[in-house]
Chains A and B, each alone.
Chain A
Amino acid sequence: MGETLAGNVIYRNVYQFVQDLLGEEWSWVAYAAAGMAIILLVTNAVMAIGAMYTWFERRLLGRFQGRLGPNRAGPFGVLQPIADAIKLITKEDIIAVGADRIVFTLAPVVMLAPTLLVLGVIPFGAGSWLADLNIAVLYIAAVSGISTIAVMMAGYASPNSFSLFGSMRAVAMLVSYEVPLVMALLGVTVLAQSMSLVSIVEAQALPFLLVTPLGALIFLAAISAELNRAPFDVTEAESELVAGYMTEYGGMKYGVFMLAEFTNTVVAGAIFAVLFLQGWKWAILPSHIWFLLKVGGFVFIAVWVRATLPRYRLDQILAVAWKYLFPLSLVNVLLLAAEVIVWPERGAAELGIMAAINWAVTIPAALLWSKVVSLRTSPPIAAMFSTEGR
C-alpha cells in the first residue's frame, strides 16, 4: 500500500489536517481518518456507478426486446435509479412473521460486504489502487465466497419455501462454479507469474483475452454463474421461484440486495478488465477512461447475453460446470504451464506465439468437448432440485 496512497491528494490533505489538529502522537488517528475518507469516496463512487448501471441495463434490455425501457424520469430516464432509491427507502420495512429477524436483517449487509471488499485490490488506473496485495487473486476468490453465506442466511431466515429453494439452488451453483472460476484465475496467475493484479496488468504486453481465450471464456461463464446472471439465474428465476431467496424482502433491504447484485456485475467487469483486457493500459486516452470503457464493454456483453440466452435448468447448469468447464479449465492450465516453461521471458512476440497456439487448441477443444458432453438430465439430481410435487 503506502506509496500510491500517500501520493493521493485527498489522502494527504485529510492526513495533514487531522495531524495538525491532534498533534504528532495521534498520527494513527490521522492515518485512519485519511483511509476512511478514501474508503468513503471509492465505495460511494462504485455504488453510484452500480446504481447508474441498473438504468443502463434496463434501457439496453429494452432496446434488445424492442421496447423503450425506463424513460420518464429525467432525460432518457437517467434519473430512474434515484426515483427507485427514493421509492425503496420510503417503503414500509416488512419482516415476515416467523422470520429469524436478526439473520433476516443481516443477510443484505453480508451480501454487500464482499462486493465492497473486493474493490480494495482493483487497480482503477495507472498508479491508482488502494492496495497492491501480492495475493490479490486469491483474496478476490476468498472474499467473494462469503456471499454464498449471505444467500444461505436470506434463504434460511425467510419463512418461505421459495426462499429456501432459491438459496439451496444458489449454493449448489456457487460452489460448483467456484471450481472453474478459480482454475481460470490460476491460468492467468501462471501466465503473469504473480497474483498481484498490478503485476498481472503489467505482464500483459498483449491482452490475455487474446493469449488465453479458453481461460477468458471459462472465466466469463463462471463469473456469470457467480453473479446469478442469465443464463444461470435459476436462483431467482421469476417464472418459477417468485424471486428466489429474495422473495420475502421488501423496501431498502431488497434494495441492498439488488444494489449488491448490480454493483457485483460492475466489479466483475473491473476484474475481467484487469485480468484479460490489459486493465488500464492502451494508447492516447487517460488510463482511468480506458479502464471505465473496458468495464463498460464487459457490462454491455453481460446485458447482451442476458437478453439473448434462455435460462438453463439447474441440473444442466451443474452439468456444464463439472462436465464441460472443469475439464477445459484443466486443459487450459496445463497448456499455459507448458508454454510458460518453454518461454520464460514473455514479451509481445512470445505472447503472440502463445496466442496462436492457444487459439489453435481452444476452438477444436471447445467444439469437440461440447460434442462429447451431454446435458442429459441425470434423474437423481433432477429430482433433488425439481420444484414439482413439493
Chain B
Amino acid sequence: MAFDNLFSEIVFWALAVVTIGSAALVVHLRSIFRAALMLVVSFLGIAGIFAMVNAEFLAVVQVLVYGGGIAVLVIFAVMMTRDVDTGNRSTAVQPVALMMGIALLGALAYSIVQAEWAVLPDSLPGPIATVFVETPTQLGRLLLSDYVLAFEVAGVLLLAAVIGALSLVRERNDA
C-alpha cells in the first residue's frame, strides 16, 4: 500500500472502534431492531478491516453475504419477534451465559495472542503475488478442482435447507 503508516493507523483504529463499539451496542441496546442495525454496522466494519489488509475479495463478500443477505434475514426475524422495542427480560440463564461468554473470549484471546502469525515479506514471491492480484480467479480454480467435494457438499446443504424451508411452509398451509 502506498499509504503512510500514520494514515493506515488512523483508518485501522477508526474501523476497530466502529466494529467493536457497534458490537457492544448490539448487546446493550434495548430495541432489538436497533441492535440488528448495529450488527450490520459491525459487519461492515469487519469488511473495512478486510479491505485494509488487501483482502478485497473477502471484504466484498463480507458486505454481500453479511451486510446484504444475513442482515436482511436477521431484521426480518426481528420484525416478527414480540416486544421488539423493549427487548427480552433477563432470565436465570444469564450468569451461565456470562461465564460461557467470558470463557469463549478468553479462549479466543489466548489463541490469537499465542498464535505464530506468518508475516509476508515486503516483496512477494511470484505465485503469492498473483494470488493478491486475481483472488477471484485463483479461488474459483481451487473451488472447482482441489476443493470440489466441499463445494458440492455446501451446495447440497443449501438445497436441503431450501427444501426444508419449503416443506415447513407447506405443512402450515395444509393444516
CB neighbours (8 Å) of B34 from chain A are: 100, 102-103
Interface residues on B, range: 20 to 34
Whether A171 contacts B60 in the complex (CB less than 8 A), given A100-B33, A134-B136, A146-B67, comes out as no
CB neighbours (8 Å) of B76 from chain A are: 171
Q: How far is the CA of A211 from the CA of B45 in the complex (A)?
A: 40
Whether A138 contacts B64 in the complex (CB less than 8 A), given A100-B31, A149-B75, comes out as yes
* In contact, B56 and A149 (Cβ under 8 angstroms): no
CB neighbours (8 Å) of A385 from chain B are: none
CB neighbours (8 Å) of A135 from chain B are: 56-57, 60, 135-136
B1-37 near A? 1/0 per residue, CB < 8 Å:
0111011000000000000000000000001011001
Contact of B75 among A141, A142, A143, A152 (CB under 8 A): A152
Q: How many residues of A contact B (CB 8 A)?
A: 28
B52 at the A interface (CB under 8 A): no
* In contact, B37 and A103 (Cβ under 8 angstroms): yes
Interface residues of B (CB under 8 A from A): 2-4, 6-7, 31, 33-34, 37, 40, 56-57, 60-61, 63-64, 67-69, 71-72, 75-76, 79, 133-136, 169, 173
The smallest beta-carbon distance between A274 and chain B, in angstroms, is: 18
User: Can you show 23 pairs from A to B with CB atoms below 8 A apart?
Assistant: A28-B6, A100-B33, A100-B34, A103-B34, A133-B56, A134-B56, A134-B133, A134-B134, A134-B135, A135-B57, A135-B60, A138-B61, A141-B64, A142-B63, A143-B63, A146-B63, A148-B68, A149-B40, A149-B67, A149-B75, A156-B33, A156-B75, A156-B79
Give the nearest-CB partner of A147 in chain B: B68
Kindly list the 7 A-B residue pairs having the minimum CB-CB distance in the complex, ordered from nearest: A145-B68, A142-B64, A28-B4, A28-B7, A142-B63, A142-B60, A138-B60
Whether A195 contacts B56 in the complex (CB less than 8 A), given A28-B4, A103-B34, A148-B68, comes out as no
